[in-house]
Amino acid sequence: MRRAVIAGTGSALPKRCVTNAELAETVETSDEWIVERTGIRQRYVAGEGETTGTLAADAARAALEAAGVAAADVGLIVLATATPDQTFPSTATKVQAMLGIDDCVAFDVQAVCSGFLYALTVADGMMRSGTADVALVIGSETFSRILDWEDRGTCVLFGDGAGAVVLRAEDGPTDPTVARGILATKLHADGRHNELLYVDGGPSTTGTVGKLRMKGREVFRHAVVNLATVLGETMAAAGLDPADIDWLIPHQANARILEATAKKLGLSPERVVVTVDRHANTSAASVPLALDEAVRDGRVRPGQLLVLEAMGGGFTWGAAAVRL
Ligand code: COA
């Protein structure tokens, strides 16, 4: 059976790290409040010359190197972002040019914090149907550029960064208990909740980029319920039991959401990869950033079953069961 297998991972963070204490100098907040409510201690913020595109290209180069794949062999780039370098063309085509790839399929996917799960699902489908044998799936964001830095309810929660995976199409066994690669994905969207998490601008409405607005408490409530449901659906679609999960690689929005989700799955906290304390919420970049960290520090190993999940603006949410 032809499946998309993760052949390598990579990530990139901006140079500048901003602590909670530094933020408390400009908005009325405290390290204690932020840590207690979210688990966040610091975040990275893009500086001059650092964009969604440059971070994405750095993450992609690292993933290609880890996979031992030449850029010229990439047939597909799917880049998830809600903060593209330009309204058009897609940031994926900018990354393509930065990597020196003359011709391939390249486009962006916009599903905010669930973007990486959407991008992975699209790439998986295209690879199974034969569009490409090697793909780059990237999540990259510079949310610092759409934050209202005077709104303490949102500006403390987000950070910038990028993560990438190289997918390679491989023929393998059908049995999901031994097969490598993307075993199942599930995606959802419910557009009725736009006003709970959105950006108050856009090319076709205000002609401006806009700033992020969020009703945090309502988002929190939806996140816990939706994530638990989609994780169950994904495991059922893969033909696997939640007890088979080696690692949960969740979207990193809030440590309390991670704890609640793990508890609902009956998964011990040691099986959850957590980066929210150091990266904050990097939207579409958070899942591949966490994955790359856990691969590089040796926690996540070949043959293990990973479950990736995310929920974001729209609302959109999704999960993927992947054996490394
Ligand atoms: N520092 C200090 N106080 C703050 C603050 C900050 N950075 N941000 C908000 N507050 C205040 C609020 O003004 C409010 O004060 P009030 O009661 O006097 O009005 C109080 O803290 C409680 O605010 P509330 O929003 O109810 O807190 P909360 O416990 O729900 O925590 C979030 C807020 C945002 C941390 C939490 O709701 C959350 O993480 N939500 C999910 C967000 C998310 O995951 N978004 C991304 C999805 S992709």
Residues 165, 197: one domain?
no
Q: What is the C-alpha to C-alpha distance for residues 239 and 121, in angstroms, rounded to an integer? A: 17
Query: Ligand 1 centre from 268 Cα, in Å?
Result: 26
State yes or no: is 279 an active-site residue. Answer: no
Q: To the nearest whole percent, how much of the chain has pLDDT over 70?
A: 100
Strand (E) or helix (H) holding 4: strand 2-12
CATH number for 11? 3.40.47.10
State yes or no: is 113 an active-site residue. Answer: yes
* 289 pLDDT more than 90: yes
Q: Is residue 283 part of a domain?
A: yes
User: What's the mean pLDDT in 89-101?
Assistant: 98
Question: How confident is residue 264, by pLDDT bands cut at 50, 70 and 90?
Answer: confident
Give me the number of domains the chain comprises: 2
Please report, to the nearest 10 degrees, the dihedral formed by the alpha carbons of residues 56, 62, 65, 66 taken in order. Answer: -120
Collapsed DSSP state (helix, strand, coil) of residue 94: helix
Residues 207, 144: one domain?
no
Domain end: 171, 195, 217, which one?
Answer: 171
Task: Supply the range of the domain harboring residue 116.
Answer: 2-171
Q: Is residue 63 part of a domain?
A: yes
Predicted local distance difference test score (pLDDT) of residue 149: 98
Burial profile 203-227: b = 16 or more Cβ within 10 angstroms, e = fewer: eeeeeeebbbbbebeebeebbbebb
Q: Which of 146, 188, 220, 256 to mutate to test the pocket of ligand 1 (most atoms within 8 A of CB)?
A: 220
Residues 26, 156: one domain?
yes
**Amino acid present at 308:** L
Query: Ligand 1 centre from 217 Cα, in Å?
Result: 7
Domain end: 130, 149, 171, which one?
Answer: 171
Residues 104, 241: one domain?
no
Answer yes or no: is the C-beta of 128 below 6 A from any ligand 1 atom. no
Residues 166, 187: one domain?
no
pLDDT in tens, 210-243: 999 999 999 998 998 899 899 999 999 999 999 9
Q: Is residue 176 part of a domain?
A: no
Domain end: 142, 171, 200, which one?
Answer: 171
User: If you average pLDDT over every residue of the chain, what do you get?
Assistant: 97
* 176 pLDDT more than 90: yes
